[in-house]
Structure 1
Amino acid sequence: MLEIHGLDVHYDGVHALRGLSLTVAKGEIVALLGNNGAGKTTTLAAASGLVRPSAGKIVFDGKDITREKPHKITASGLVHVPEGRKIFSTLTVHENLQLGGYLIRDQAEIRRRIERVYELLPRLAERRGQHGGTLSGGEQQMLAIGRALVTGPSLLLLDEPSMGLAPLVVASVMELIAGINADGTSVLLVEQNATVALKIANRGYVIENGECVLDGPAAELREDARVVEAYLGGVRRNGGT
């Protein structure tokens, strides 16, 4: 579904990605792990057309999108939910969701998709007339994901969806992501909370200094000594150290 081959990205004098390669197959959740500045956000930005690679190739659903414009990439089904949610705080929940349909001409289809989001996220339905800026952090994250669902993704790029959220809210967000995936949407998940990411992911990649240094099935990464030490607090998922 998504293939990234030998990607290099330079900006602001920084060599942000160095020959990075990864794949996301149809139906997968793939976790992208790494410390701040490792290149995770840049990877998503390159895939969604927000930054231009200096080398390499990005293929989505068999089409080369390396130089494609962001709105065309979104229209093809690759939808990016950026770090920080980026909802419109002065618009209502419903108005934010309507903006997710900006590429769709069929108004009836937009309404159908919004109603599906309300079914999936009844808390948003309860707050449909409330301004986005008055929502809790968790509700804003749900709204950002809901808006992306209105766009109609076949692949969802999620950048740090658990950032700044309480543990119980994080669990709800991860449950939502797993549910979206079960409904048929593939997911590339950038997440510093490796513990929760590897619980719902099928596979994972670890990035350091713009390079992929480790990849494999999520179950294996949870037990890998390097991942345990760097990202799981030195505690193996079976309870040992």
Structure 2
Amino acid sequence: MAMLEFDNVAVYYGKVQALRGISLTVEEGEIVALLGNNGAGKTTTLSTASGLVKSHSGRVSFNGTDITKAMPWNVVGAGLIHVPEGRRIFSTMTVLENLLLGGYLVKDRALVAKRIATVYELLPLLAERSTQQGGTLSGGEQQMLAIGRALIAGPKMLMLDEPSMGLAPLIVARVMQVISEIRDQGTTVLLVEQNARAALKVTDRAYVIDGGTTTIEGRAVDLLGDSRIIDAYLGA
């Protein structure tokens, strides 16, 4: 049974159809990438899974439970956590305060403290900056904070929307390394990325979304050598 499954999901914004029958699966323990150009439907796919956008038809399930009509906080409670594009940290709050907000649904304060300690081990820069306001961090540090905040919720699956956007190549490599480490610690990952080369180096499988539907699917290692992917996303 797939951990996350989209079955012929259609989404409209008014009269504009954003998703045209998306079907995809993410298995437990995988890192799966969604690739595609701007406006292809990648962000809408994540927002539909997290309950921020409601589908017109089709079914979304998580761990065998239908979440098509679920409210966002119930999706979070089920362990499906969405890190949106643009980081969206609280700039006037400290790093620690941002992390604490990630555990707002977790009633066990000792568990929250334990998860913060684990995040500090994974992302030691956050420990060094714990009393610093989020808005004073660099772009890469803010992305790490957004990921760290999501981990405090104890996700079974983490959905990341464009985590490398606007970052220098060395920082992108570190972000991808962190994503791999998160999977190694037991969290499944669904990754939306325009940096196809960086994404395919750390993912198990990928889907290409174009015009609101999946057009290509395969193992990442195969797609790195696929002429269609090379021509459209990787260059010569």
Aligned equivalent of 1:111, options 88, 107, 113: 113
1:190-233 CA deviation, whole Å, 9 max, x = no partner? 00000000000000000001010000100111111111000001
Aligned equivalent of 2:34, options 32, 35, 53: 32
Q: Which residue of 2 aligns with 1:13?
A: 15
2:152 alignment partner, SS class: helix
Q: Percent identity?
A: 62
Segments of structure 1 that go 5 or more residues without pairing to the other structure are: 236-241
Query: Letter of the aligned partner of 1:122 in structure 2?
Result: P
TM-score normalised by length of structure 1: 0.96
Q: Which residue of 2 aligns with 1:131?
A: 133
Q: Which residue of 2 aligns with 1:69?
A: 71
1:53 alignment partner, SS class: coil
Q: Which residue of 2 aligns with 1:85?
A: 87
Q: In 2, Cα distance between the equivalents of 1:12 and 1:66?
A: 19
2:206 alignment partner, SS class: strand
After TM superposition, list the pairs within 5 Å mapping 1:100-179 onto structure 2.
Answer: 100-179=102-181
Q: Which residue of 2 aligns with 1:239?
A: none
1:112-170 CA deviation, whole Å, 9 max, x = no partner? 11111111111000000000000000000000000000001010000000000000000
Q: In 2, Cα distance between the equivalents of 1:13 and 1:200?
A: 37
After TM superposition, list the pairs within 5 Å mapping 1:204-215 onto structure 2.
Answer: 204-215=206-217
Query: Letter of the aligned partner of 1:185 in structure 2?
Result: T
Q: In 1, Cα distance between the equivalents of 2:16 and 2:207?
A: 22
2:178 alignment partner, SS class: helix
Q: Which residue of 2 aligns with 1:43?
A: 45
Segments of structure 2 that go 5 or more residues without pairing to the other structure are: none
Structure 1 segments (4+ residues) deviating >4 Å: none
Q: In 2, Cα distance between the equivalents of 1:12 and 1:92?
A: 38
Query: Letter of the aligned partner of 2:69 in structure 1?
Result: R
Q: In 1, Cα distance between the equivalents of 2:219 and 2:109?
A: 41
Query: Letter of the aligned partner of 1:123 in structure 2?
Result: L
Q: Which residue of 1 aligns with 2:101?
A: 99
Displacement of 1:14 in angstroms is 1.4
Q: In 2, Cα distance between the equivalents of 1:221 and 1:39?
A: 20
Q: In 1, Cα distance between the equivalents of 2:208 and 2:186?
A: 25
